[in-house]
Amino acid sequence: MKLKGGEKRGIITKVKDGILAVLEAVETLPQGVKPTGLRGKITARFMAIGHQGIYKNVAAVLNLQPEDDFLEISCGSGLFIKSFASHVHSVAGVDHSEDMVKLASYYNQKRIEAGTAEFRHGDAAWLPWENDKFNAVTTIASFLFWPEPLKSLKEMYRVLRPGGRAVVSIGWNAEDGQDHSKYVETHGMRLYTGKEIQDMFQEAGFSQNYITYFKSFMIPRGIIASAVK
């Protein structure tokens, strides 16, 4: 059955409204910080849909190559890895929610069976890998929740090989002109400027720091910070 223009627009509007309602609920629930259980799985899936714009911008900055060994910190559902890192040599993910580790493993099961992927339960400030393991690492929309951001960046530096690249993306930030005060209080998150992240990159040992700004769904001015070891 072929839909008319008005019907298509109506369906698109309902989908957008549904995603928006879920994301607004995420903002006021612990599930947005540490997804757990069935609700957490549903939240993570909708977050992945809502974050597609962020994913595309991060993927463009990362510029992952077939020879890369790639790590995503706070990997959540693992759908960024599945969608944008399927072509790289090996992938890994770490998350502080055991349920998200299971979900990411489920979505990337074929790669795990092939021996080219692994997902672990862990903390961004204590990464469970040896030195110089990866040559690309990212975290998407989670940095503002990290209690030890500088230590976590130092961990990124440690697990990267010389010349490896790190990419940190944040949607809400201190430069987007929005009032996030009630969410800062609810979740204990911190809003950063691009300059603040660059300064932390430098303190962690990185060089060649860059800032890219982007727009996406519910994000008027997102920040992607990148650096090289």
Query: Domain with 187 in it: what CATH number?
Result: 3.40.50.150
- 105-137 pLDDT, tens digit per residue, is 999 999 999 999 999 999 999 999 999 999 999
Classify each residue of 122-145 as buried b or exposed e, where b means 16 or more C-beta atoms within 10 Å of its C-beta.
bbbbebebeeebbbbbbbbbbbbb
Residue pair 61/86 in contact (Cβ under 8 Å)? The answer is no
Is there a domain that residue 173 lies in? yes
Beta 134-140 vs 90-95: how paired, if at all? unpaired
Name every residue whose Cβ is closer than 8 Å to that of residue 109 and which is 6 or more positions away in sequence.
none
Helical segments of 91-193, H only? 98-107, 109-114, 149-159, 181-187
- 17-73 pLDDT, tens digit per residue, is 544 444 444 444 444 445 555 555 555 555 656 678 899 999 999 999 999 999 999
Q: Nearest to residue 137, comparing CAs of 64, 214, 45?
A: 64
pLDDT at position 84, please? 97
Is there a domain that residue 23 lies in? no
State the total domains in the chain.
Answer: 1
Is there a domain that residue 40 lies in? no
pLDDT at position 41, please? 55
Is there a domain that residue 17 lies in? no
Token code pair at residue 36: 């757990």
Name every residue whose Cβ is closer than 8 Å to that of residue 155 and which is 6 or more positions away in sequence.
124, 125, 126, 127
Is there a domain that residue 144 lies in? yes
| Secondary structure of 202-225 in HEC code, one letter for each residue | HHHCCEEEEEEEEEECCEEEEEEE
Is there a domain that residue 101 lies in? yes
DSSP tag of 12: H
pLDDT at position 182, please? 83
Residue pair 220/177 in contact (Cβ under 8 Å)? The answer is yes
Is there a domain that residue 172 lies in? yes
The answer on pLDDT for 16 being more than 80 is no
Strand order through the sheet with 219-228: 117-121, 90-95, 69-73, 134-140, 160-170, 219-228, 207-216
Is there a domain that residue 191 lies in? yes
Q: What range defines the domain where residue 80 resides?
A: 47-228
- 57-108 pLDDT, tens digit per residue, is 999 999 999 999 999 999 999 999 999 999 999 999 999 999 999 999 999 9
